[in-house]
Chains A and B, each alone.
Chain A
Amino acid sequence: MNHILVAENVSKKFGEHTALSNISLEIPENCIYGLLGPNGAGKTTLIRIINQITHPDTGRVLFDGMPLAPEHIATIGYLPEERGLYKSMKVGEQALYLAQLKGLSKAEAKKRLKYWFDKLEIGDWWNKKIQELSKGMAQKIQFIVTVLHEPKLLIFDEPFSGFDPINANKIKDEILELKKNGTSIIFSTHRMESVEELCEYIALLHQSEKILDGRLTEIKKAYKNNIFNVGLQVNGNADGLLKELTEKFAISSSSYDRSIDQLHFTMQLPSDETTLVLNHLAAKANVNHFEEVVPSANDIFIETVNGKGA
């Protein structure tokens, strides 16, 4: 598999403060890569290094197999978290300016802008000033400007902030379409549900170190603890059955719903005994429900960060 971006032992200090410590990452081509971590973990610094806004103290970054160089700027698109536009400049003029700074010719930029403005239904904004637009509207312009030069690598830092749910969905669809067309995407966010939805790979930074990375499904698999949610039909004998099971298994958070005569609990199983346990349960009562608990990205995030932070 080709990697669009490889970071090797990247470290960065600001005075006494260490922003990144020995970070190594491999970001596969044509995937959506989630860059996660609590505030101040070093995500923005890493992104700025990829954009060549700052430079690492040690280590190196390879873009498409080559050491990162100024000419790569035109093939990267970056939507920063702290973003904005010139307030008193007209939308069209501003978009043209930013596109030209990325190396597009004026004519080409105009053509593509027309396409995108029509696609996002904002064609009539061309001569408006940014200060006349709402925040969400300005965000759309910002998104277009980021993707306009058709970069190989797109970096989105909290791309959905400032959008209402409808427009956030629209932008999400655009991101997925970009990915389908071959773009690699780095996606930095705090919103775990969108990580779950979009990312194939993630890396988790905490206190300037990488504490976790890999394919999201594999990470989830690794974080499973053989915990199962169970629901049993017990014919009124809830207390007796629970007592009996508690002696044999590690059972927690049990509850009994009298109206439907159902006992709920979570149990931790010793590995490789799933079938055995299920048979045992089936002999005692009617099993309505037997499901392994897969940790969400959110759980993994909190667990890892707390585990490391403590």
Chain B
Amino acid sequence: MNKLKLIIKREYLAKVRNKSFVIMTFLSPILMVGMIVLIAYLTKVNDSEKRVITVLNESDYFSNAFNITETLSYIDFKDLTLNEAIDSTLAMENYGLLYIQKAPDLETTATQAFLYTKESPVSYVIESLETIFQNRLRQGRLQRLGVSAKDFSEIDTDFEIKTATFQGDTNLKGINEIKAGIGGAFGYLIMMFIIIYGGFVMRSVIEEKTSRIIEVIISSVKPFQLMLGKIIGTSLAGITQFAIWIISASLLLFVAMLLLDIDLTALNSNPGLPVNAMTNVGNLPQGTANNMQLYAQELFKIPWVLLVCSFVIYFVLGYLIYSSIYAAIGAAVDNETDTQQFIFPIILPLMLAIYVGFFSVFSNPHGPIAVGFSLFPLTSPIVMLMRLPGGIGDGGVPLWQFLTSIVLLIVTFLAIVWLAAKIYRVGILMYGKKPTYRELFKWLKY
């Protein structure tokens, strides 16, 4: 036990004193905050650009169809030829010219309309214009069927279906996504941690092999102790680094926001997301404000204690499983270039977990795919965390699934660590061989 402590201490100190580690620790938050600030700034600049379209309308239709929006405005030209209109559009540096020729009826007018621009036009300009034409055409056709313009404006209404669980709790649109997103953030954190610090463990094992100190050490301690100490020491260094990152990044971000006066909400460009509703609550009608409260309630209802506890459980077990595989790989090879063939199969389940999580768990947190992947031990640390914000039991993850996934994870953990320790024990004393999977399998029997 005492020796394990010594090893952990050495591994920890060796890691945190490493120059590149120190540089990474303090540079990363600055880079990250810099990126966020830059993106926010660019988004702001981009949004403030308003495009102007000149309209040369010779027809009898579309006279009041072009209404100014946040991003597009229109200038009407009258009594000009097309060439004159083009010249003045260019002179005024407007974005484009919409030319609507005179035609006998609405349909022909619409088909003959042309948009001239300097370069091929950006998509939202085309979309806006097309919507205007589509609406006008639909209105025209309905009028022919006897629907008045007034009736038409009443036809088009937004509608949202209200949903509730059988217990009568109101469901909110998008709340599943938010919940899975919160769980996903935890899952993503686990994946990043595994990939970064698992790699550190591997390189540290390779270093001991190439510097030939390994045999000196394992004549004093058991290889398993060394492997465990290395994994724990490295992950403590990793936790230190993550803590520094999170604290300093939040501080920096806060300071940067104050100094640059950047509104973070500018980043949320997708109006469908309720997050927007929360931040822009002042401009929204009463109904949304009520929803807003419901969302807040829902967020409070997320079982945070459970979530954080299971994060710790899944993090520790998942990390131990993967990093012992990394340690075994490090022991099997002589240098880092030989590791590629072994690393890919490790990264694969991690990537799969993240993608399955984002595509399947978000839309259906308790569907068969989500359930399967949250039970499978190599993906469960990530996928189960995405499902857990829904709670355990009613409406959430069934208790048996939660317990099964943890039991499976523990069993896998023991099996993998046992296997990895075997490969590690043999591998650290093997030099000059580029091992194959077959050979690794043979080592298990030594």
**Interface 9-mer from A97-105, A194-202, A266-274, A282-290:** A97-105
A19 to chain B, nearest CB (A): 10
Q: Decide if A15 touches B219 in the complex (CB within 8 Å).
A: no
A258 to B431, CA, bound (A): 57
**Interface 9-mer from A80-88, A112-120, A232-240:** A80-88
Q: In the complex, which of the residues A73, A87, A100, A142 contacts B219, with contact meaning CB atoms closer than 8 Å?
A: A73
A84 to B220, CA, bound (A): 15
A51: Cβ under 8 A from any B Cβ: yes
B189: Cβ under 8 A from any A Cβ: no
Give the interface SS of chain B, mostly helix, strand, loop or mixed: helix
Q: Which residues of chain B in 10-25 are interfacial with respect to chain A, using CB atoms and an 8 Å cutoff?
A: 10, 14, 18
A206 to B136, CA, bound (A): 98
The residues of A that contact B344 with a CB separation of less than 8 Å are: none
A154 to B218, CA, bound (A): 16
Name A's B-contacting residues (CB within 8 A). 14-15, 48, 51, 53, 73, 76, 78-80, 82-89, 97-98, 100-102, 142, 145
The residues of B that contact A14 with a CB separation of less than 8 Å are: 446
With A14-B446, A101-B6 known to touch, is A53 a contact of B218 (CB < 8 Å)?
A: yes
Q: Decide if B217 touches A53 in the complex (CB within 8 Å).
A: no
Closest to A80 in B: B215
Closest to B225 in A: A101
Q: A78-B219, A84-B211, A101-B7 are in contact. List 13 more A-B contacts (CB 8 A).
A: A73-B220, A82-B215, A82-B431, A83-B212, A83-B213, A85-B211, A86-B14, A86-B211, A86-B213, A97-B6, A101-B3, A101-B221, A142-B216
The residues of B that contact A82 with a CB separation of less than 8 Å are: 212, 215, 431
B445: Cβ under 8 A from any A Cβ: yes
The residues of B that contact A100 with a CB separation of less than 8 Å are: 6
Q: Decide if A97 touches B219 in the complex (CB within 8 Å).
A: no
B429: Cβ under 8 A from any A Cβ: yes
B442: Cβ under 8 A from any A Cβ: yes
- Which of the four size classes fits the interface of chain B? 20 to 34
Q: Decide if A15 touches B445 in the complex (CB within 8 Å).
A: yes
A53 to chain B, nearest CB (A): 6
A142 to B212, CA, bound (A): 12
The residues of A that contact B218 with a CB separation of less than 8 Å are: 53
A104 to B293, CA, bound (A): 64
Closest to A48 in B: B429
Q: Could you list 20 examples of A-B contacts with CB < 8 Å?
A: A15-B446, A48-B429, A51-B219, A53-B215, A53-B219, A53-B223, A73-B220, A76-B219, A78-B215, A82-B431, A83-B213, A85-B211, A85-B216, A86-B208, A98-B217, A100-B6, A101-B7, A101-B217, A101-B220, A145-B216
The residues of B that contact A89 with a CB separation of less than 8 Å are: 14
B153 to chain A, nearest CB (A): 75
Q: Decide if B213 touches A85 in the complex (CB within 8 Å).
A: yes
B191 to chain A, nearest CB (A): 29
B12 to chain A, nearest CB (A): 12
Closest to A102 in B: B220
Q: Decide if A87 touches B215 in the complex (CB within 8 Å).
A: no
A-contact bits for B215-235, CB 8 A (1 contact / 0 none) = 111111101000000000000
A78 to B14, CA, bound (A): 24
A76 to B217, CA, bound (A): 13
B16 to chain A, nearest CB (A): 13
A119 to B172, CA, bound (A): 79
A75 to B139, CA, bound (A): 97
A150 to chain B, nearest CB (A): 14
Q: In the complex, which of the residues A15, A79, A98 contacts B220, with contact meaning CB atoms closer than 8 Å?
A: A98
The residues of B that contact A78 with a CB separation of less than 8 Å are: 215-216, 219
With A100-B6, A101-B221 known to touch, is A88 a contact of B216 (CB < 8 Å)?
A: no
Closest to B19 in A: A88
A89 to B18, CA, bound (A): 10
A48 to B212, CA, bound (A): 15
The residues of A that contact B446 with a CB separation of less than 8 Å are: 14-15
Closest to A76 in B: B219
A100 to B208, CA, bound (A): 18
The residues of A that contact B219 with a CB separation of less than 8 Å are: 51, 53, 73, 76, 78, 80
Closest to A77 in B: B219
Q: Decide if A84 touches B213 in the complex (CB within 8 Å).
A: yes
The residues of B that contact A102 with a CB separation of less than 8 Å are: 220
A51 to B217, CA, bound (A): 11
B204 to chain A, nearest CB (A): 10
The residues of B that contact A145 with a CB separation of less than 8 Å are: 216
A236 to chain B, nearest CB (A): 62
Closest to A85 in B: B213
With A14-B446, A88-B14, A89-B14 known to touch, is A80 a contact of B216 (CB < 8 Å)?
A: yes
A86 to B212, CA, bound (A): 9
The residues of A that contact B18 with a CB separation of less than 8 Å are: 88
A32 to B221, CA, bound (A): 26
A65 to chain B, nearest CB (A): 22
A99 to B207, CA, bound (A): 20
The residues of A that contact B223 with a CB separation of less than 8 Å are: 53
The residues of B that contact A86 with a CB separation of less than 8 Å are: 14, 207-208, 211, 213
The residues of A that contact B207 with a CB separation of less than 8 Å are: 86-87
Rank and list the top 5 A-B pairs by shortest CB-CB distance, nearest first. A84-B212, A101-B220, A80-B215, A78-B219, A84-B211
A89 to B208, CA, bound (A): 12
Closest to A101 in B: B220
Closest to B10 in A: A97
A89 to B6, CA, bound (A): 15
The residues of B that contact A101 with a CB separation of less than 8 Å are: 3, 6-7, 217, 220-221
Most chain B CB within a 10 A radius of its CB, from A51, A73, A87, A101: A101
Q: Which residues of chain B in 36-64 are interfacial with respect to chain A, using CB atoms and an 8 Å cutoff?
A: none
